[in-house]
Amino acid sequence: MIRKIFFAGLAALLLATSANAGTIVGIAVNPGTTAGGGSTSTRSGLGTFHLFGLDETNLGISSYNITMGPAVTASNNRSPVTSITDGNGDTFAAGFNLLRTASNAPQMQASEPLPGSSPYIVQGFGQTAGDFASQASSKGVQPGSVVGPTTSAGWGTYLTSGGDAASGKKWVFLGEGTWNTSLPFTGASMFVPAAVLTAFGDANNGSIATTTTIILIPEPATLSLLGLAMVGCFGMIRRRS
């Protein structure tokens, strides 16, 4: 029985880490540190979680609407957003500024600017690493400068996302929160039961619907704990055999 449970758990982990879809929402549970990597992250440790997004097949995430699950007790929208002033003195939005929900909303959501409304629309969220300073210096009328207010000035290189995806794509930090640890652990759906992400589908910043998969993404501390659990299971199997 123990052997079956062990290999079932291992199979579930392999499926989670190799999941492939149009877009993915990844959840790091009880991260050992804040997300880092230029993100605005303040939560870590037991009873917390981090949310990440990945776009496997398109030109980067353009919007997200993530439903908070029954275990979530608090949530914070942390995706990259700022304002950039160009060389003419005109200020434009950059990042996920539209329809952006506040903390503790039932759905965590935001969208990038509408096509044509800003020269600083970012393609590549959930695929590549970047930062707003580079966007300001490479797009629009120069010289451009980041004027804020800014949330998560950099993206794509985090401490708690478990590294890059198998495809080589890089996660974007979307949010974080706290959860009720007294509840039985039932998997990803207790944090995020549903998510709808759109992605850019062409060079003109047109958005398309995607198929979104929700997974748990073990970060390094979680993987260490899993390894210890595996060793324990092997020990129990050997003693019983």
- pLDDT beyond 70 at 117: yes
Domains in the chain, number: 1
CB contact set of 218 (below 8 Å; sequence gap of 6+): 13, 16, 17, 28, 162, 226
Domain that holds residue 87: 2-240
Predicted confidence (pLDDT) per residue in 183-214, tens digit: 999 999 999 999 999 999 999 999 999 999 99
What pLDDT, on a 0 to 100 scale, did the predictor assign at position 239? 52
Predicted confidence (pLDDT) per residue in 137-147, tens digit: 999 999 999 99
CA distance 187 to 215: 9
- pLDDT beyond 80 at 34: yes
- Both structure tokens of 121: 């629309």
- pLDDT beyond 80 at 19: no
- pLDDT beyond 60 at 232: no
Listed range (20-24, 61-65, 130-134) with the worst mean pLDDT: 20-24
Instruction: Find the helix packing angle between 2-17 and 220-240, rounded to 10°.
Output: 160
Mean pLDDT over residues 214-222, rounded?
A: 73
User: What's the mean per-residue pLDDT of the chain?
Assistant: 87
- pLDDT beyond 80 at 167: yes
